[in-house]
Amino acid sequence: MTQQVSKAALNGAQTPANDTVHTLPTGRDKRAIGPENRPFPAWHYAMLNDHARNGAIAAAIADLDLAGKTVVEIGAGSGIIAILFARAGAARIVACEMNPAMAEVARETIARAGMADRIELLACSSTEAIEKGLLPEAPDVIFTETVDCGVIGEGFHAIARDIRRLAGEKTIVLPHEIRQYGLPVCAPAIWGLNHVDQVFGVDMAPLNAWATRTYFPVRAAWHGFETAASPQRVRTYDYLQERPARPVIFESRINGIVHGLLSWFELQMGRHVITNAIGEHSHWHQAFHPFPEPLKVHEGQKIALRIADDGRVELL
Ligand SMILES: C[S@@+](CC[C@H](N)C(=O)[O-])C[C@H]1O[C@@H](n2cnc3c(N)ncnc32)[C@H](O)[C@@H]1O
């Protein structure tokens, strides 16, 4: 059962005669929409208000000569980047968004911005759009901002495969490279966000069967940690060229326990860089990649590891 509700009515405003009418489940109003029934993640709000991110993307777009050019966007979200490309003069933008609710929002923001004649919004994944021949081949620009705190969680590998299928020799890919940095840390508080032993003498370890083994977002500075070795680049991601995992060797500067690897990225957006490094005002948290078990180390000990394709730390 569904009911027709206008967005303006939901916002407490008078419903104008030409207001777009949306279909919402019966009995739900704005007050009832919480994280559990919103059809897209809440980070879209924080992301859209991340001025450092937005500024770098806008600056990278402003650096391009877009007159007469065709742009493909993978992951349009609520449509802002496609609109920026249109404002910057691109002749044709084909944007795909695989979350249907998000795609509907994008369609509306694009219409409100008066850009519907130049932006084509496809409510499907890039893979589906390529398979159906809906995306122009060898476009002048391919843009995607589909990166989570640990780079790959929003589907990096699939999107990179799609970009390689679509790109021509002259296609500019934004971003073209993402550098991931990391450092091993002694961080019992962060470890405790994903692991439990005894509570009041009761063995709670069965819960650990569900612990994250890849990585999870964390505001590192909030929880505190001890740096166990100097930071290094741990992996490079490139949309045009496969860059396999490589071993990285850290040298411990502590006698103690290492719980995992804290990582952050530098996303190269043309000449501009977006980062979620510790201390930056970014909507992205850092990523914490827990070791399989806490590792006892001594000063000078080598810690060899690799970031696997699923973001997991493999100790070598
Ligand atoms: C981080 S948001 C960015 C939105 C927008 N580009 C921006 O920068 O404001 C990424 C969006 O990409 C969508 N997405 C992820 N992988 C996709 C794919 N392969 N095809 C289409 N959409 C995708 C997600 O649903 C999400 O809405």
Instruction: Return d(Cα 75, Cα 81) in angstroms, integer.
Output: 10
State residue 111 phi and psi, 5-degree precision.
-65, -45
Q: How is the chain split into domains, by residue range?
A: 17-174, 178-315
CATH architecture for residues 178-315: Distorted Sandwich (2.70)
Pick the CATH number of 17-174 from 3.40.50.150, 3.30.379.10, 3.40.630.10, 1.25.40.10: 3.40.50.150
Task: For ligand 1, atom 25, name the residue with the nearest CA.
Answer: 99
Instruction: Return d(Cα 208, Cα 206) in angstroms, integer.
Output: 5
78 Cα to the center of ligand 1, angstroms: 9
Task: For ligand 1, atom 20, name the residue with the nearest CA.
Answer: 125
Provide the residue-wise pLDDT of the chain in tens; the chain has 316 residues: 333 333 333 333 333 333 333 444 444 455 567 777 888 999 999 999 999 999 999 999 999 999 999 999 999 999 999 999 999 999 999 999 999 999 999 999 999 999 999 999 999 999 999 999 999 999 999 999 999 999 999 999 999 999 999 999 999 999 999 999 999 999 999 999 999 999 999 999 999 999 999 999 999 999 999 999 999 999 999 999 999 999 999 999 999 999 999 999 999 999 999 999 998 989 999 999 999 999 999 999 999 999 999 999 999 9
Give ligand 1 pocket residues (Cβ under 6 A).
47, 74-77, 80-81, 96-99, 102, 125-126, 145-146, 154-155, 158-159
Ligand 1, atom nearest to 148 Cα = 1
94-137 pLDDT per residue, tens: 999 999 999 999 999 999 999 999 999 999 999 999 999 999 99
Task: For ligand 1, atom 27, name the residue with the nearest CA.
Answer: 77
Q: Do residues 278 and 220 touch, judged by C-beta distance below 8 A?
A: yes
Task: For ligand 1, atom 12, name the residue with the nearest CA.
Answer: 75
Probe target for ligand 1 pocket from 97, 107, 135, 272, with the most ligand atoms within 8 Å of CB = 97
